[in-house]
C-alpha cells in the first residue's frame, strides 16, 4: 500500500465557503463539497447560522486560536532511542554499573524478559549552548542547536511493544486503523498547497512496525492519508505519465475533458462528477509539482554539503535527502511531514543487543542532517513557523538486556521539540535517578499531541470527527496542553 497521492484540495472554512458561494461558485458544486466529509457535513442552514460551529459533533475546522506553527516536521526515531544515552544523563548508572537493578527499584515486565544489570552509558555527556543542555557524544551536530531544543525528559507511553507504541505515538491509540496525527492536523487545518498532499511521509527505508497504518486516515476520509514519498527518483507512485511525451497525455486528457462536458445529457450537472472532473486538474498539477519538488539541483553545493549529501556513510546521505526534502515541503506549505529512518547496518534504534554499535550507526545517519535542517530552517526564517519534533515510540531500559543491549521502556523517555513556538534551550520534566521512570511533569502521548495541535492553533478537544457513535479525537478523552514548553 503506498498511500501516496492522497492529495486533495484544501478544505475551506465557513467564511471561504460563503465567499465562494457569493461569488458565483456554483450552488451544485457547493453542495458537492458539503457532501464530501472532508469538508464537514455542513448544510445550507448551517452556513447561514452563526451557531454552526457549536453544533455537537460537527467537525470544527480552522483555527481555534492564533497558530504559532503552520507546519510540522516529525523526525521519527524508529525503534526507541535510549534516553540515558542521548539527552538524559544519569550518573547513578556509572555508580551502580553492573549491579542488580532490583536492588534499587521495582523492575517491570519487559518485551524480552531478559533482565540484566544496571548499564552505564557508553557515551559522555557535555553541556552545550547558552542553556548548557547536556547532550551525549552521539549527537555532536545536533548539540550545536541546543539553544533551539526544548527537551522533554518525562515522556511516557502506555505500551512496551513496538507496534502498539507506534500506533499510539502516531494516532493516539494503540490499535490499528486509527487516523494518524498528520491526518488529524490536515483534517483540522487543510493544506495550503493544492498540488501536493498535506501529509507526506518521506520514507528513508524503514516503514515503522505496524506498517503504513501509522500514516493512515482511519475513519477520516482517504484524502487525509499520509502519502509515502521516496527521497529520490520519482518520489511518488503514479505521477509519472506512461505516455512517451507529456503532449500525448495532454491530447488524451483534452478528449476526456471534452467528453466529460458532453455528459450533461446523461448526468445533468451532477455535483460529485463535477468534483471528479476538477480532480484531473489537480492531478495534472501534481505531475509537475513533484518533479519540481525533487529538483535538488536547485540547491547550492554548500547547502547540499551542510545536509550531508557528500557524507561517506550512505544512510547519512539518505537522511540528508529526506531532511532537505522536508524543508522544501515546508516551503511549499505542506502541513505535516514525517521522516522515517534509513536502514543502517544492524537495526533501527532498537538495540536489544550491541547498544554501542547500533546507536552509533543510527546517530551517524541522522545527526548531521537534522542539525543542518534546524540551521537551514532558521536561516531562512522558517523555524519560527515550523515545529520540529524528534521522538521514538518509547525509550530504553537503564539496565541491560542480556549484557550489552537495552530493552523497551515506556515509563520514561526523552523527546525534543524545536521551532514552531516550542521554548528553545529548555528541559522539561525528569525521570528518576536511574532514568527509568518519569517522576516529574509526566508527559503522556496525548499531552504531546495536544501541545502539537495547540501550537498549530487547534484545540484538541474541539477537533472531532463522529465515528462509531462517538466524537473521536486525536487525544481520545485525554490530553493536556503542556504550556510550560511553549515559548
Partner 1 sequence: MICSVLFSVHCAAVSGQEEASQGQSQATSEQLEFFEKEVRPLLVEHCYECHSGKSKKLQAGLRVDSRKAMLKGGDSGPALIASNPDESSIIQAVRYDGFEMPPKGKLPANEIDILTKWVAMGAPWPAEQPSDGGADRESFDWQKRKEGHWVWQSIQNPTRPTIAETDWPKSDIDFFILSSLEKAGLKPTLQADKYALVRRLYLDIIGLPPTPEQVQQFVSNTNIIGTEQLVDQLLASPHFGERWGRHWLDLVRFAESRGHEFDNDAPYAYQYRDYVIRALNADVPYDQFVREHLAGDLLKSPRLNAAEHFNESILGTGFFHLGEWVHSPVDIRKDESDRFDNMIDVMSKTFLGVTVSCARCHDHKFDAISTEDYYSIAGFLQSSDYREVAFDAMECNREIGSQLAELDQNYREKIGSILSKASPASILAMDHASKETREANMQSLSDAVIVDYAIAEPSQFFVDGELFGKRPRHAGEISLVVSDGKAKLDFVRTSAAASDLFWNSFKKQEANSPNQMSSIGKLPRSGRTLRSPTFTLRDGKVDCRIQGQGHVVACVDSHRLLAGPLHGETVRGIPKADGFQWVTLNLGRYVGHRLHLEFTPDVDTLMEVQIVTQGASPEQLKAIEASKANVANQITEAAKVIDLELQKDKDAEERVNAIVESWSKARLELQQKIRTTSRVAMSMMDGTGEDEHVLIRGNSSNPGRTVARRFLVAVDGPEPLAIEHGSGRLELAERINAATNPLASRVIVNRIWHHLMGRGIVPTTDDFGFLGQRPSHPELLDHLATKFLSDGRSLKKMIRYVVLSKTYQLGSRPDAISTQLDPKNQFWHHHAAKRLEGEAIRDALLSISGRLDPTQYGPSIKVYLSSFMDGRGRPGQNGPLDGSNRRSIYLEVRRNFLSPMFVAFDTPTPFSAMGRRNVSNVPAQALILMNDPLVAELAKAWAQRACSTVPMSEGQSPDARIRWMVMSAFSRESNEPELAAARAFLNKHGQEFGMTIRDESLWEDFAHALVNKKEFIFQR
Binding residues for partner 1 restricted to 245-264, rule: CB under 8 A: 245, 247-249, 251-253, 255-256, 258-260, 262-263
Question: Where does this chain touch partner 1 (CB under 8 A) — which range of 94-102, 133-141, 220-228, 303-311?
Answer: 220-228
Residues between 77 and 136 with contacts to partner 1, criterion CB under 8 A:
109-114
Alpha carbons 140 and 202: distance in angstroms, whole number: 24
Q: Residue 292 CB, nearest distance to partner 1 (Å)?
A: 16
Q: Which distant-in-sequence residues (6+ apart) come within 8 Å of 337 by Cβ?
A: 71, 72, 73, 74, 200, 201, 202, 326, 329, 330
- Among 18, 192, 273, 487, contact with partner 1 (rule: CB under 8 A): 273
Site membership for partner 1, residue 241 (CB under 8 A): yes
Nearer to partner 1 (CB atom), residue 111 or residue 144: 111
Nearer to partner 1 (CB atom), residue 68 or residue 408: 408
- Among 131, 237, 486, 487, contact with partner 1 (rule: CB under 8 A): 237
**Site of grid cell 486516515:** 217
Alpha carbons 425 and 149: distance in angstroms, whole number: 5
- Among 277, 331, 385, 462, contact with partner 1 (rule: CB under 8 A): 277
Q: Residue 306 CB, nearest distance to partner 1 (Å)?
A: 29
Q: Residue 209 CB, nearest distance to partner 1 (Å)?
A: 4
Q: Residue 415 CB, nearest distance to partner 1 (Å)?
A: 17
Q: Residue 447 CB, nearest distance to partner 1 (Å)?
A: 9
Nearer to partner 1 (CB atom), residue 166 or residue 386: 166
Cell numbers found for residue 327: 524543508
Residues between 296 and 355 with contacts to partner 1, criterion CB under 8 A:
none
- Among 429, 435, 457, 479, contact with partner 1 (rule: CB under 8 A): 429
Q: Which distant-in-sequence residues (6+ apart) come within 8 Å of 2 by Cβ?
A: 212, 227, 228, 236, 237
Question: Where does this chain touch partner 1 (CB under 8 A) — which range of 68-76, 270-278, 318-326, 375-383?
Answer: 270-278
Q: What region does 308 belong to: left with phi over 0, alpha with psi -120 to 50, or beta?
A: left
Q: Residue 36 CB, nearest distance to partner 1 (Å)?
A: 6
What is the H or E stretch that residue 221 is in?
A: none
User: Rounded to the nearest 10 degrees, how much is the dihedral formed by the CA atoms of 146, 435, 365, 232?
Assistant: -90
Of 293, 391, 299, the residue nearest 338 (C-alpha): 391
Sign of the torsion formed by the C-alpha atoms of 120, 414, 376 and 302? positive
Q: Residue 236 CB, nearest distance to partner 1 (Å)?
A: 8
Residues between 194 and 213 with contacts to partner 1, criterion CB under 8 A:
203, 207-213
Contact mark string toward partner 1, 444..473, x via CB under 8 A: x---------------------x-xxxx--
Distance linking the first and last C-alpha atoms of the chain: 39
Residues between 44 and 63 with contacts to partner 1, criterion CB under 8 A:
44, 57
Q: Residue 52 CB, nearest distance to partner 1 (Å)?
A: 15
φ and ψ of 222, to 5 deg: -55, -25
HSE on the CB side for 77, CA within 13 Å? 30
Contact 412, 398 (CB under 8 A): no
Residues between 349 and 388 with contacts to partner 1, criterion CB under 8 A:
none
Size of the site for partner 1 (CB under 8 A): 102
Exposure class string for 265-292: b at 16+ Cβ within 10 A, else e: eeeeeebebebeeeeeeeebebbebbee
Residues between 133 and 192 with contacts to partner 1, criterion CB under 8 A:
154, 160-164, 174-178
- Among 13, 20, 31, 357, contact with partner 1 (rule: CB under 8 A): 31
Alpha carbons 182 and 445: distance in angstroms, whole number: 15
Using only the alpha carbons of the chain, give its radius of gyration. Answer: 24
- Among 49, 275, 305, 353, contact with partner 1 (rule: CB under 8 A): 275
Nearer to partner 1 (CB atom), residue 26 or residue 127: 26
Contact 116, 399 (CB under 8 A): yes
Amino acid at each position: 500500500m503506498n498511500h501516496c497521492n492522497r492529495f486533495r484540495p484544501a478544505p475551506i472554512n465557513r467564511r471561504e465557503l460563503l465567499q465562494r458561494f457569493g461569488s458565483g461558485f456554483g450552488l451544485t458544486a457547493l453542495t458537492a463539497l458539503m457532501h464530501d466529509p472532508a469538508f464537514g457535513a455542513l448544510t445550507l442552514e448551517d452556513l447561514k447560522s452563526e451557531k454552526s460551529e457549536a453544533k455537537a459533533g460537527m467537525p470544527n475546522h480552522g483555527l481555534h486560536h492564533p497558530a504559532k506553527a503552520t507546519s510540522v516536521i516529525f523526525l521519527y526515531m524508529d525503534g526507541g532511542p535510549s534516553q540515558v544515552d542521548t539527552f538524559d544523563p544519569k550518573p547513578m548508572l556509572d555508580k551502580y554499573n553492573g549491579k542488580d537493578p532490583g536492588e534499587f527499584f521495582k523492575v517491570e515486565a519487559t518485551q524480552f524478559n531478559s533482565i540484566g544489570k544496571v548499564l552505564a552509558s557508553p557515551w559522555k555527556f557535555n553541556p552545550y549552548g547558552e542553556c548548557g543542555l547536556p547532550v551525549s557524544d552521539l549527537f555532536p551536530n545536533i548539540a550545536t542547536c541546543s539553544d533551539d531544543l526544548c527537551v522533554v525528559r518525562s515522556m511516557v507511553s502506555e505500551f512496551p511493544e513496538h507496534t502498539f507504541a507506534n500506533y499510539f505515538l502516531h494516532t493516539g491509540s494503540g490499535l490499528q486503523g486509527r487516523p494518524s496525527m498528520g491526518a488529524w492536523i490536515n483534517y483540522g487545518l487543510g493544506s495550503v498547497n493544492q498540488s501536493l498532499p498535506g501529509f507526506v511521509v518521506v520514507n528513508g527505508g524503514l516503514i515503522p512496525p505496524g506498517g503504513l497504518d501509522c500514516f493512515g486516515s482511519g475513519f477520516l476520509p482517504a484524502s487525509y492519508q499520509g502519502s509515502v514519498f521516496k527521497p529520490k527518483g520519482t518520489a511518488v507512485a503514479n505521477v509519472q505519465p506512461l505516455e512517451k511525451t507529456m503532449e500525448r497525455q495532454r491530447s488524451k486528457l483534452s478528449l476526456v475533458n471534452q467528453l466529460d462536458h458532453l455528459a450533461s445529457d446523461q448526468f445533468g450537472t451532477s455535483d460529485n462528477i463535477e468534483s471528479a472532473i476538477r480532480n484531473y486538474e489537480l492531478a495534472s498539477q501534481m505531475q509537475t509539482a513533484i518533479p519540481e519538488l525533487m529538483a535538488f539541483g536547485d540547491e547550492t553545493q554548500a547547502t547540499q554539503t551542510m545536509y550531508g549529501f557528500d557524507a561517506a556513510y550512505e544512510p547519512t546521505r539518505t537522511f540528508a535527502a529526506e531532511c532537505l526534502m522536508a524543508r522544501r515541503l515546508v516551503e511549499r506549505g505542506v502541513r505535516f511531514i514525517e521522516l522515517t529512518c534509513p536502514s543502517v547496518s544492524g537495526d533501527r534504534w532498537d538495540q536489544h543487543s550491541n547498544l554501542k554499535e547500533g546507536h552509533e550507526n543510527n546517530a551517524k545517519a541522522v545527526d548531521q542532517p537534522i542539525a543542518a535542517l534546524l540551521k537551514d530552517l532558521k536561516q531562512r526564517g522558517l523555524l519560527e513557523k515550523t515545529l520540529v519534533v524528534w521522538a521514538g515510540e518509547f525509550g530504553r531500559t537503564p539496565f541491560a538486556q542480556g549484557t550489552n543491549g537495552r530493552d523497551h521502556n515506556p515509563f520514561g523517555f526523552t523527546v525534543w521539540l524545536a521551532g514552531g513556538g516550542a521554548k528553545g534551550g529548555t528541559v522539561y520534566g525528569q525521570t528518576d535517578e536511574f532514568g527509568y521512570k518519569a517522576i516529574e511533569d509526566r508527559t503522556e502521548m496525548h499531552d504531546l499531541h495536544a501541545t502539537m495541535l495547540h501550537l498549530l492553533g487547534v484545540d484538541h478537544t474541539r477537533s472531532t470527527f463522529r465515528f462509531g457513535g462517538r466524537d473521536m479525537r486525536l487525544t481520545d478523552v485525554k490530553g493536556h496542553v503542556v504550556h510550560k514548553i511553549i515559548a
